[in-house]
Structure 1
Amino acid sequence: MSTYIRQSVQDLQAYTPGEQPQVEGLIKLNTNENPYPPSPAVARALREFAADSLRLYPDPVCRTLRERIAAVEGCAVEQVFVGNGSDEVLRLATRAFTQPGGAVAAVDPTYSLYPVLAAAEEVGYRTVPLPEGFGWIEPPAALDASLFFLANPNAPTGVFYPVETIRAFCRQFKGVVLVDEAYVAFSGGRDCLALAKDLPNVLVCRTLSKSFSLAGLRLGYAIGSAELIGAMYKLKDSYNVDRLAQALALAALGDVPWMQDNARRIVATRERVAAELVKRGFRVIPSGANFLFVEPPAGTAAADLFADLRIKNILVRYFPGERTGRYLRVSIGTDAQMDAFLAAL
């Protein structure tokens, strides 16, 4: 065991991101990327970007981009934090809103980065096991944690929890509730943004990766009280969002209708595929995201189906584990990709 490495890092179980294989003809349905391109405004901004400006540092507080986000989301600029992907927002929140020896909490199963972030900060990780079907369960009132991560829609299940139920939980929870809305654009207009505006202990975190087709850009943001946002700005890297990312994100957020049109297409495909899978004997967890969490018919193990699809050049996501190992997570691609997926079953 190395003497150079911090003990907590040596003990850390690192997050495992979805595979990014470079295989010709692969139908990639494993990392919830948007199958449609970003707005033409993004391509135009990229063509017009002044390469010479890259010799200069970017705006350290993303003022212009925060103004655009504030206008889109209907809040004050001081209520917006911009990060290098929403994962940076999650990391800084873990650091800002926990005490030494404290803990964060989340439902289980959920986004597997959360326990990694807790371990990196050397704080505990408490879980609230979800019931069969993965619907909402009220966390205990005396939950020993100062930060609660709540992915809504949840990942990897896709379940959307009712906003008013979450509001009631936020009111009684003594710490900060971070509502991770990475997939909210696919939830039919439901979101928890009002909670971040109304309640002093709520942060809503969003990303441009899924809905805006910009997973390769790494841009996320949080909305909450000026007090919470200010705490994260104290901790961020000095120039955490580069010039190009700020310019392209600004262009994307200037064309919200393009994103919404793509989201509607994905939702329509999701519902069509879900109905077809049910006909074939799959158990399909109702989804508010751009993916489906499905249990194969009796007699077919999820791990075996995952391997069989891979042989056929279709990559989905399999999460081993007692709760998740019976299921596959299938990202929603184009109609042609999903037809190929159905044909391969």
Structure 2
Amino acid sequence: MTSFFRAEVDAMTGYIPGEQPKSDSKIIKLNSNENPYPPSPKVKDVLQDFDWEWLRRYPDSSATNFRNAVSEVLNVPADWIIVGNGSDEVLNLVIRACTDADRKVVYPMPTYVLYRTLVEMQPAQTVEIDYPADYKLPIEELVQVDGAVTFIATPNSPSGHVVPVEDLRELATRLSGVLVIDEAYCDFASSDALSVVKEFDNVISIRTLSKGYSLAGIRLGFGVANPKLLQGLYKIKDSYNIDAIACAIGAAVMRDQDYKNSCAEKVRISRNKLSVDLEKLGFKVWDSQTNFLLVQPTKGNAEHLYFKLKEQGILIRYFKQEGLEDKLRIAVGTDEENTILVKALSELIQ
């Protein structure tokens, strides 16, 4: 049968998101790195007071209100900000704008596997470089490839580690292409890479409201870069990619930093306790500056534990790929959810 699709689409597998249970189920969902706490109360205020007239009209094509809120919080000019339907859209814009069949996209592995999917959708070349066991950034290998686009997630998923700013700065200095710093989890970390963005015109930081702001359900993210770099992205961005409600909610929660920071601190405290509890059970636990942990059971039975927990209504993430076959990624839940998880694991490993 003749295919309807391009060869690249026929050849690709596609990104597989974490399993999504039914909304009325009592599943403990720790597989998609969602924030265990509700979003800012400001969201309710926005929805209650929202002017329905704005639903009749097309939304602001550049999400001005939200961009201004980001500008105020991050202390960057509003014209240094581009808004996306989730940070994934901004990642996709970079790939579409900067790559072709003769250009390479490079990133260290393991990392966010959507990078691979985005490249596979285009006629572009993927170069994946293995992280060493200590997750030190392989700068020389990345520089040698000198891709049209280089992705670095920091904090990284699934490892949870942060790439030192000095390493990012060195990479930006030595690359001729675009350096994409994916900071989806920066709200849980002790540092960020915004200073590198301000210093180099080939660097973009991409962030999301899905994690730190508990807004995975409205799909809102943004990129921060020199306007020279954003110029090309705006050319291919959908004209009205951010709806009016998302823009209003995003602006409100962005301006409520106290609430976001208090929730992030609760997650950090729970993360540290969960890490200790899992280590007591014999798990190897990687240091994390995110809202999840990468762990390794002593018996190498990660896949078995994943399925057994699922049978008990506890969803975590198992990646059946090289380097991760014996590991699990566990999102930090509420203290009650974490306690149930640890109890279940304790019974399973005994």
Q: TM-score, normalised by structure 1?
A: 0.97
Residues of 1 paired with 2:229 and 2:48: CA distance? 36
What is aligned with 1:164? 166
Aligned: 1:180 with 2:182: yes
One-letter amino acid of the counterpart of residue 194, structure 1: S
The CA RMSD over aligned residues, in Å, is: 1.2
One-letter amino acid of the counterpart of residue 178, structure 1: V
Q: After superposition, where does 1:277-296 map in structure 2 within 5 Å?
A: 277-296=278-297
Q: CA deviation at 1:136?
A: 2.4
What is aligned with 2:89? 88
Percent of aligned pairs sharing the same letter: 38
Q: CA deviation at 1:135?
A: 3.2
Residues of 2 paired with 1:193 and 1:54: CA distance? 34
Is contact 1:81–1:229 with CA below 8 Å preserved after alignment?
yes
Is contact 1:170–1:177 with CA below 8 Å preserved after alignment?
yes
Q: CA deviation at 1:145?
A: 1.3
What is aligned with 1:59? 60
Is contact 2:285–2:296 with CA below 8 Å preserved after alignment?
yes
Is contact 2:30–2:316 with CA below 8 Å preserved after alignment?
yes
Is contact 2:30–2:332 with CA below 8 Å preserved after alignment?
yes
Residues of 2 paired with 1:38 and 1:313: CA distance? 24
Query: Partner of 1:81: helix, strand, or coil?
Result: strand
Is contact 1:158–1:287 with CA below 8 Å preserved after alignment?
yes
What is aligned with 1:225? 226
Residues of 2 paired with 1:4 and 1:330: CA distance? 39
Is contact 2:218–2:246 with CA below 8 Å preserved after alignment?
yes
What is aligned with 2:339? 339
One-letter amino acid of the counterpart of residue 320, structure 2: P
Task: Sort the Cα spacing of 1:197 and 1:26 in 2 relative to 1 into closer, same or farther, 3 A.
Answer: same
What is aligned with 2:348? none
- Deviation readout 1:197-233 (Å, 9 max, x if unpaired): 1111110000000000000010000001101111111
Aligned: 1:215 with 2:208: no
Is contact 2:146–2:175 with CA below 8 Å preserved after alignment?
no
After TM superposition, the structure 1 stretch with the greater mean CA deviation from structure 2, 161-170 or 264-273, is: 161-170
Q: After superposition, where does 1:1-345 map in structure 2 within 5 Å?
A: 1-22=1-22, 24-140=25-141, 141-188=143-190, 190-297=191-298, 299-345=299-345
Q: CA deviation at 1:47?
A: 1.2
Residues of 2 paired with 1:129 and 1:300: CA distance? 21
Is contact 2:98–2:148 with CA below 8 Å preserved after alignment?
yes
Residues of 2 paired with 1:165 and 1:291: CA distance? 23
Residues of 2 paired with 1:121 and 1:63: CA distance? 30
Residues of 1 paired with 2:69 and 2:26: CA distance? 38
Structure 2, unpaired ranges of 5+ = 346-350
Query: Partner of 1:131: helix, strand, or coil?
Result: coil
- Deviation readout 1:183-206 (Å, 9 max, x if unpaired): 011112x00011111111110000
- Deviation readout 1:234-279 (Å, 9 max, x if unpaired): 1101101011110110111110110010000000000011011112
Q: CA deviation at 1:144?
A: 4.2
Residues of 1 paired with 2:132 and 2:242: CA distance? 39
Q: TM-score, normalised by structure 2?
A: 0.95
Query: Partner of 2:322: helix, strand, or coil?
Result: coil
One-letter amino acid of the counterpart of residue 162, structure 2: F
One-letter amino acid of the counterpart of residue 271, structure 1: N
One-letter amino acid of the counterpart of residue 96, structure 2: R
Residues of 2 paired with 1:41 and 1:33: CA distance? 19
Query: Partner of 1:318: helix, strand, or coil?
Result: coil
One-letter amino acid of the counterpart of residue 314, structure 2: I
After TM superposition, the structure 1 stretch with the greater mean CA deviation from structure 2, 45-54 or 111-120, is: 45-54
